[in-house]
């Protein structure tokens, strides 16, 4: 790791702060997506703090591992972590979604160094990540590539084109992660468009598959390690998560997919998170 390794309990503390940042950011912006930001924060924070090689003070360092947030609406979680690690001043979180801000409502590589791919149109990130992973192989380089997708998102056909292709090129430097929070916009994912049996699908496409609790930091870390040890296959991590995790009244509630908390709700959420 480029960064000195945190103790696990320090990471837990950081993530608690990131959840607070997410709520404050979305409240100030008055719009955005709390549900899918809170379900993904443990995964994203683990990637940045434990797993990936990267340099916050040199975001375009060519040797960096690549992280593609394919479910772009979850970007408040990524911004919180990036600010926490020093990619930009934490003050800047206040500008989320405002005019002329670098912190666009969905990730933009045109606005903020450290964002690898512009996303927000769902279903495209795994193809981009696959392109990065394939290039690293062609160049004989050792960068690893991580792509985080939503469970609703993987209803897009392009995801399955990438899923079919990555094993052909033996991209063992590619890790796809599904934030399996069981909800999308129009309802529970498996009512809107059933995905199950989901592990079987990826297995049938020749991915190395690991199912974990996406809020358990030990399991997350072990899964990343297992992916590193896996040869000649890409890895799929199916992370079972809870939409809105950490804020009791948001947990599992579809309506918190894309609604910002008002002042009262923010106070309540912060009270819970600050404990």
Partner 1 sequence: MSLTMFASTGKPTASRASFGKALLEIADQFPQMVVVDADLSKSTKTIDFQKQHPHRHIQLGIQEGNMVTMAAGMASMGQIPFIASFGCFLIGRFEQIRMSIGYSNANVKLVGTHVGIGIGPDGYSQMALEDISCLRTLANITIIQPGDHRETVQAVRWAAEHNGPVYLRLTRQNLPQFHSDDYQFQIGKADVIKSGKDVAILATGGTIEPAMAAVALLAERGIDAELVNFHSIRPLDEDYLVSASARFGHLVTVEDHSIFGGLGGAVAEVLCEKAPAKLLRLGMQTYGESGEPEDLYQKYGFTGEAIAAKTATLLGK
Ligand X SMILES: Cc1ncc(C[n+]2csc(CCOP(=O)(O)OP(=O)(O)O)c2C)c(N)n1
Residues 43-72 that bind ligand X (CB under 6 A): 71
* By CB under 6 A, residue 122 contacts ligand X: yes
Residue with tokens 């970007």: 75
Residue 163 CB, nearest approach to ligand X (Å): 15
- Rounded-to-integer distance, Cα 22 and Cα 41, Å: 9
137, 151 contact by CB (below 8 A): no
Edge-to-edge strand order for the sheet containing 235-240? 66-69, 145-150, 174-180, 235-240, 208-213
Which stretch, 5-13, 92-100, 175-183, 219-227, contacts ligand X (CB under 6 A)? Answer: 175-183
Closer residue to ligand X (CB): 114 or 125: 125
214 binds, among partner 1, ligand X, none (CB under 5 to 8 A by kind): none
Helix, strand, or coil (residue 235) = strand
Closer residue to ligand X (CB): 39 or 78: 39
DSSP notation for 37-91: HHHHHHHHHHIIIII----TTSTT-TT--EEEESSGGGHHHHHHHHHHTTSS-GG
Structure tokens at 212: 């974990």
* By CB under 6 A, residue 243 contacts ligand X: yes
Give me the half-sphere count of Cα atoms (radius 13 Å) on the Cβ side of residue 245.
Answer: 25
Which stretch, 44-52, 82-90, 183-191, 259-267, contacts ligand X (CB under 6 A)? Answer: 183-191
* By CB under 6 A, residue 121 contacts ligand X: yes
Closer residue to ligand X (CB): 49 or 73: 73
Structure tokens at 153: 């998102």
* By CB under 6 A, residue 42 contacts ligand X: no
Residues that bind partner 1 (CB under 8 A): 29-32, 72, 97-101, 103-106, 108, 110-111, 118-123, 152-153, 155-157, 184-186, 189, 192-193
- What are the residues binding ligand X (CB under 6 A)? 33, 35-36, 39, 71, 73-74, 120-123, 150-153, 179, 181, 183-185, 189, 243, 257
């Amino acid at each position: 790791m480029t960064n000195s390794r945190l103790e696990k309990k320090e990471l837990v503390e950081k993530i608690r702060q990131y959840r607070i940042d997410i709520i404050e950011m979305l409240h100030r912006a008055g719009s955005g997506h709390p549900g899918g930001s809170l379900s993904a924060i443990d995964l994203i924070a683990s990637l940045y703090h434990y797993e990936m090689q990267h340099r916050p003070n040199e975001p375009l360092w060519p040797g960096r591992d690549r992280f593609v947030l394919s479910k772009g609406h979850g970007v408040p979680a990524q911004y919180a972590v990036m600010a926490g690690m020093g990619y930009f001043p934490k003050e800047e979180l206040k500008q989320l979604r405002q005019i002329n801000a670098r912190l666009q409502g969905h990730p933009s590589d045109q606005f903020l160094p450290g964002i690898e791919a512009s996303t927000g149109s769902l279903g495209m990130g795994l193809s981009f990540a696959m392109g990065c992973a394939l290039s690293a192989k062609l160049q004989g380089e050792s960068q690893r590539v991580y792509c985080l997708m939503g469970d609703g998102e993987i209803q897009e056909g392009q995801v399955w084109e990438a899923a079919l292709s990555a094993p052909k090129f033996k991209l063992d430097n590619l890790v796809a992660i599904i934030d399996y929070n069981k909800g999308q916009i129009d309802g529970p994912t498996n009512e809107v468009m059933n995905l199950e049996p989901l592990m079987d699908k990826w297995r049938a496409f020749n991915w190395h598959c690991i199912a974990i609790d996406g809020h358990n930091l030990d399991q997350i870390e072990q899964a990343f390690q297992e992916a590193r040890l896996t040869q000649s296959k890409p890895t799929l991590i199916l992370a079972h998560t809870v939409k809105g995790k950490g804020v009791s009244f948001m947990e599992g509630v579809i309506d918190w997919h894309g609604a910002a908390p008002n002042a009262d709700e923010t106070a309540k959420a912060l009270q819970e998170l600050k404990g």
